[in-house]
Structure 1
C-alpha cells in the first residue's frame, strides 16, 4: 500500500479519537508487513492536532526538479 493511503488511515484513526498507540496497534494488525512506523504516525498526528487536516505533503521551497537538465550540466 502506498504512503498516501496510510496517511488517510492515520487521519481516520485521529478523527475517531484513537491515540497513536491504538492507531499503531490497529495498523499493525491490518498491515503487519507494510504498516507505517511509530514516528510516522506521531508526526502525522502532530500535524492533524495543529489543524493541518490535509493528507498531502505541502510545497517545499528550493530548487525545482526541472532546474537540472542535461543542457545545464
Structure 2
C-alpha cells in the first residue's frame, strides 16, 4: 500500500473514534509487513481535525522537472 492509502485508513479509524494505540494495533494485525510506524499515527493531522489525505505544501526548494527544454 502507498502512503495515501494508509492515510485514508488512519482517517477512517479516527472517524470511528479509535485512539492511536487501537489504530496501530489494527494496522499491525491487518498489514503486518507494511503498516506505518507509531509516530506516523501519533502525529497524524486527523487528530487535529484536518481531513485531507493529500500532502500539504512544504517550504524549501521546488522539485525540478526534466523536460526536453532542460536537456
Gaps of 5+ in 1: none
Q: Distance in 2 between matches of 1:50 and 1:18?
A: 14
Q: Distance in 1 between matches of 2:29 and 2:12?
A: 16
Alignment RMSD, CA only?
1.9
Given the two structures, how large is their TM-score scaled by the length of structure 2?
Answer: 0.83
Q: 2:64 is paired with a residue of what secondary structure?
A: helix
Counterpart residue number, 2:56? 58
Q: Which has the higher helix share?
A: 1
Q: Which runs of 4+ in 1 moved over 3 A?
A: none
Alignment size in residue pairs: 68
